[in-house]
Amino acid sequence: MKFSFSRRIQNTPKSFIREILKVTENPDVISFAGGLPNPSLIDTEGIEKAASKVIKSDGRCALQYSTTEGYPPLREYIAERYNKRYGLNVSADEILITNGSQQCLDLAGKIFINKGDSILMEKPGYLGAIQAFSMFEPEFFSVPLEDDGPDTESLSEIISEESPVFFYGIPNSQNPTGITYSDEKRKDVAEILSEAEVPFIEDDAYGELQFDGKVKKPVKYYMPESGVITGSFSKIFSPGMRLGWICADEEILEKVITAKQASDLHSNYLSQRILYKYLEDNDIDAHIKKINSEYKRRADTMIKAIEAGLPPEISFTRPEGGMFVWLRFPDSMSSMDIFEKVSERDVVILPGTPFYVNGDGARTARLNFSNADEDEIRTGISVLSEVIKELYY
């Protein structure tokens, strides 16, 4: 039978990283390709206790249908944390619980993008966002990233020429580069977008993963009405629970709620209840501090191994948090060729091309340090170094 599939699904790229992750199911493979939290840092005992308490005390309610917006105490918790931690004056009415922060991107696409609309992304940009937004057939425009955030001159030029419906970015430990916006860039981006009346979709999945523990003001702080910020519990609690949220002005959130109702009615209510009970019974800040300490150790190990083993003409980022180091190869090298050769030796990296909307990135690669121990990192970078020398020297 010949199926008549929609143009939108035919034009939506497959997730390159999901295909690679199939290979990394082999326990002998050292994977720098994914973006997985380290499983040893998931508090299984604490989650088990929280789940037991929820089921025993209010199981029938927790296993029932619920409201689209999400569990009210959890929404209150997120709003209060924004107020205390970031100085953001938001209420629970401006919070919607989602199935991970990835769903936030789908919902943003549904309420903002018409076919052919212009949207802005960082260059390079998060491949999950490229995939999510591609479903709505927009025209992508990319804003180059500098060491401290977007090139604001390019941002202004593209906005004046293309009138985008929004700008999507990741100010904290950007995926894939690991770059964190400076305070100055956050203010400049907010000013440019506010003057042009262009919303900012601020993906803050890595906001809590800052090695120095210092709070960085969200871009939304400087543009409260037109800033849309998304968050995730995947990196600090459990990715398998698939819990995130979107924080936006009530006018925007009303449209998001309608889009979510048409999609899945509401996010996993049992997971929401378990999460909230966990937050009640445990010190999440102490847990986050432990995660950041472990990730900093792994990041430092990877940076030292890169400095010692890779040729000096290969540049790389030095992340302040998050999970990734970004490599830039000279013109003589190909990340796909390197990927293929290291894969033969049970080491997997992620070539940079999927992070670009125009086919660039053939001389770049993303390395993940959170899901490997220090010995694996040293071994994997050693293999990468050997392969590069075999191919090009």
Per-residue pLDDT, 3: 86
Are 337 and 365 in contact by the 8 Å Cβ rule? The answer is no
d(CA 155, CA 295): 32
**What is the layout of strands, in order, in the sheet containing 139-146?**
95-98, 244-247, 227-232, 200-203, 167-169, 118-123, 139-146, 149-150
Tokens of 243: 């819990």
First to last CA, the chain: 52
Per-residue pLDDT, 23: 66
User: In a 3-state reduction of DSSP, which class is residue 111?
Assistant: helix
Domains within the chain, CATH numbers bracketed: 7-43+286-392 (3.90.1150.10), 44-281 (3.40.640.10)
Per-residue pLDDT, 270: 98
d(CA 109, CA 124): 19
pLDDT by residue, tens only, the chain of 393 residues: 888 888 888 877 777 666 666 666 778 899 999 889 999 999 999 999 999 999 999 999 999 999 999 999 999 999 999 999 999 999 999 999 999 999 999 999 999 999 999 999 999 999 999 999 999 999 999 999 999 999 999 999 999 999 999 999 999 999 999 999 999 999 999 999 999 999 999 999 999 999 998 899 999 999 999 999 999 999 999 999 999 999 999 999 999 999 999 999 999 999 999 999 999 999 999 999 999 999 999 999 999 999 999 999 999 999 999 999 999 999 999 999 999 999 999 999 999 999 999 889 999 999 999 999 999 999 999 999 999 999 998
Helix (H), strand (E) at residue 325: strand 324-328
From start to end of 12-138, where are the E strands? Answer: 30-31, 95-98, 118-123
d(CA 249, CA 228): 8
d(CA 20, CA 15): 9
